[in-house]
Structure 1
Amino acid sequence: MAVLFDREAVMEELLASKPNPSLSEIYSHQCRALQVQEDPNVKRIFEQTTPGGITSLDLASFVFSPAAFNAVMEVSRMLPNLASLNLANTNLKPESVQSLVEMAAQHPSLTSISLANNNSLGFAAAKLLLPLIKENKRFIELDVEGTTMAAPTKELIRKVLLSNQTYVQNQVKETRGRTPTSEADDDEGLVVTDIADQSWPSHAATTAESRSDSFAAVVPVSDEIMPVTKADAPDPARMNVLDVKARNHELKSALMEQEERLNQYHIDLLNKCDGKQREIKRRQNVGQHMMQQFRDGWKWPLKSDFNVATCVAEFALNLSEEELESYYKHYAPQARPVDIAVKSLLTELL
């Protein structure tokens, strides 16, 4: 039965009893709220540090049930400096990916996730992970090797990550361009291009040229995020095509797998029916043989073959032939009801 989970209520309950809980105490409280058993190895990891001290959380080769994994994700939300999360070879189930994606989408510093060697993760997991890395460009690493995702899906993930890496590099360069080391000098700074009629002194132009390794000759001043314009960034239209191809490949793989199962089931069903038919035939032959034995054992002589002398000889009767004929006359079955003289019979017997 699913456990109703209210994240805010759970934390309020914990903070009411302990204003400054440790990570291990938070983990224990989350496990109790989700009604799962604590993992001593996970708890040991949380006991060794503070929330701000964890930048990389290595849970490789741990095995989690979906509810136990949810408890770990709830604690991961409270690690403000977490940048890398290793979930390789954890036998992660597709239903747990939803919890991972919800945590990762809201986490401010997480940039790298490893899901390597989780062979239960396929198309359903990819449908959740691709929007995560597309919408959150801070993610530059997502290891899905060893999963059952199709090759086109993995290629699409690689291209999205490459785009994210380009975006992060451009954003770093833009941040550096907006905060030059000599910004205290009134004669130096960034050239503003949105003022059309501005004339620039010669020494300012010389300064801009001398800094061509760090700044472009004209750097626009804007609070908007710099778009990705490098040649190695994937074309959105091509990414959509690859996404469709990946989904088609996944669907084809699933259909082929189901077709193989149906073919095998058909073969098994034919073999089973054939075996049943052979068993029915065998039993029919046995029944016919038993009926023939019954007929042979209880075969009566025909009327044309019956005579008193043969009956006396075959059955070794102690009656004479005359006596047997007398009994036959009195006790032979009649074709129709007859009146019997009971008085004369009783008189004779008495």
Structure 2
Amino acid sequence: MNFKPPPPPLKHNPFTAVPADERVCEAAAHEEYANTGPLLAQVYEERCTTHNVPVDANVRSILETNSEHQPQYKRTVISLDFSSNYLSFQPMQALLETISDCTALESLSFEGNYLKPEIMPSLIKAVKTLPALVSLNLANNSTLGFSAAKLLMQLVKNNSRLVFLELDGTGITPQAKETISGLLIENATRQSYWTPKLPFKSPVVERDLRVQSINSTPRDTSAATTPGTKKSWQKTPPKIPQSPIDSSLEERVADNVESNVALKELILSEELRLLGLEEQFNTKVQGWHVELKNRHENGHQAIDNFDVEYKEPAVYVGYSTPKLIRDCELELNASDLKDMQDLYHAHDPSIKQKLKEIKPLLEELLLMETTDARAKEIGECLSSICYLREHEDAIPAAVRCHSLIHSELLSVPYILRNVRATDTQIKRLIRSRDEQNSRTAAALGMMEEFTQYESYHEKSLHIQEQLLSLAEDRIRLLKDIKGAQGLATQAKEIRAKLITRLQEADSDAGATVGKIQAAADTLNRHRKHWDKTFAEKEAEYKMFCELSKERIQENEALQEDIFTDIKKKFIELEDLSKSRIKEVELYLKERDRIDAVRTEYTEMCKVWDAHMELINGTTHSVEVATNGCVDFVGFFEQVPDMVARAADECWAATQEECLKEQRLHMTYFSQYMKDLGDLIVVREKKAMEFERRIREMDYSINMADDTLDPNKGRYEDQKKDLMFKQAQIAQKLEALYLQVDKALTDFEETGTEEMVKAEGGFVHPNIQMHEAILARRNSMLAKARDIHKNEESFLEEAEDDLQQSSKVLQQAKEIQLHSLVPALATPRKEKKGAAFTPGAAATPRKNLIFS
């Protein structure tokens, strides 16, 4: 009778022994598939079928084998190069879905594929599923542009393992490339600090720098093997534990089988003797009845003795943990359970007590009384306690947070000492500025010494820049514009980075507990099914035994009835004897079968008990490790607030000194802006003068041909010289404008403006400087306007004369009277306004507007 397995259906009958060679082959195939995954070429063909696109032969060849002609699997492929394949949108979608979740892929290239911006979101999504990716080549895809640059910036920022990104010929601007390059260098630097080394080189950072993403698996630093083969640094699955059943059981079973065979032979011999007796009934009628009863009684006695003396077990099934996992279809196999035990140190009975020490040590790190030496001891103590990778990575960050809380940037004596150290330098710069301003004023009175004036003025500005920079440094020390913010930012970055890691570890532990609990539930459910099935088999066996014995007794009764007519019924009696022998044989076979079922059930119960004990111990260890993650999270939550409080206390102690320095800084800044404005006005005046002289040169050059002036070449040289000087003045003006912008930016950072506004009567030095500049510009514009009016008046009079002469000439032409035309030597009337002779050479500097 067959068993009815409960849902879900079992792959194997739990009471049927699986051949050893079949078990080994199945386990080996399962292990190989778990390590390598499916073939990439097969996955690609399936994706092409899903998207209804043809299979690209070149892409399939790349996915099928590597450079060493070895097959490429999804979980072991290391490098893929799809350069110059020119795939359209749908085929590219199928390819990206194929390479997604390739956990060992380190290098990926799509160079020269004419990628469009529309495919970039799918490409970024696929890259995010590649945890080991270090290098991505998108060169010579000229249509990517700005939208792709934004996506790539986000990818590099979120994927700290990516340290090489080739973007030549992509249409991305140099500014965007520079930003992405900075992010890549930051990734490489961060990875070299936070992570262990793996066996490959990064082209962005130094030659031997190696990068690995942080995850929740144990550290491994051994070397990698060739693509397509299993890496030697990957952790090999542990050996499956042997069955907990005593190995000496086989010897006992062999002895029992020998004894049981003897009992069976005894029963069969009695039955055969009974059959032989019935064959002799024709010649031995006398005494048959008595002898028949005796044989029946001997047969009954032999059956009773068989049930009493039968030794169990007489069958060795070899039920083991792999068969239990296979019969129950457990997702959590023995290898996974062993890995979890090793990861969470379930074999160490003292681990729970050790992990409870994490919280008090972290609380001690937050105390202000804790010294650096004690913090180092605490870090070493935590390192000896913690075994999870997330916990080990959090320990240096915890010690770093202690140093942030005790930083000198939050120490009032340290800040005031640094400020006082610059008093002498401030006084020296003020004296130098005043002396230089006196020299500048003296040089301004003598305009022929204009070059010397500019030199003095620039030196004065340079001294004032030093004075402003020193004043700003003093304010930064007192107000701690960037120091406390930097400490708080570092604390927040540590918190953001490690809390996410620790929460992920907590989530992984919860998932592990869930898997273990699911396995325990499955085992319990199947145990109940096996208990029920075995009880049914036992009941069936007992019912069979009763029916079999009843049939034997019925057989004996029929034999008794046959004796009334022995001759007629002899043949029937002989047939019944043969039927009896068959029934006895069936009885013996059924006894062997139920013994096999009982033995397998007993062995399964022992294996089940041992496996459940293993699962319960692992669950407890995982829960204890989870508490350590919670302790670290609580620690890092407190650090930013403590840094902020320390910064506030430091500011309260240095606020008065800072206000004093800001008032002095306001004085320095006002004088600096005034001097900058004066120099700007002088250089703008020179620029206008050069512009006017260039216009004069243009006029002289244009009139030279008409006036036959031989100096045209000299005029052109003079114009070039003037334009060169004009360009120099423009460059100097641009430099001054940049100085103004930088000074305003630095002034805003110091916070001096808010302080002065609060005191009232504040006019920004920038406004004062612009008022002075505009006033000087108005004056220069008024002078230029007067000269322009004189030139316009001269041109209007010349135009009137020309029109009058044209009218007279026309009249003379009409009446053919040349005497109406005035003589060329007739003296002209004196012109009003400025004297301007067309064609004349350029006047010397005495006629310039600003000389």
Which interval holds the TM-score relative to the shorter structure? 0.3 to 0.5
TM-score between both structures, scaled by the size of structure 1: 0.47
TM-score between both structures, scaled by the size of structure 2: 0.21
**Going by fraction, where is helix more abundant, 1 or 2?**
2
Which structure's relative contact order is higher, taking Cα pairs within 8 Å and 6+ residues apart?
A: 2
Larger radius of gyration: 2
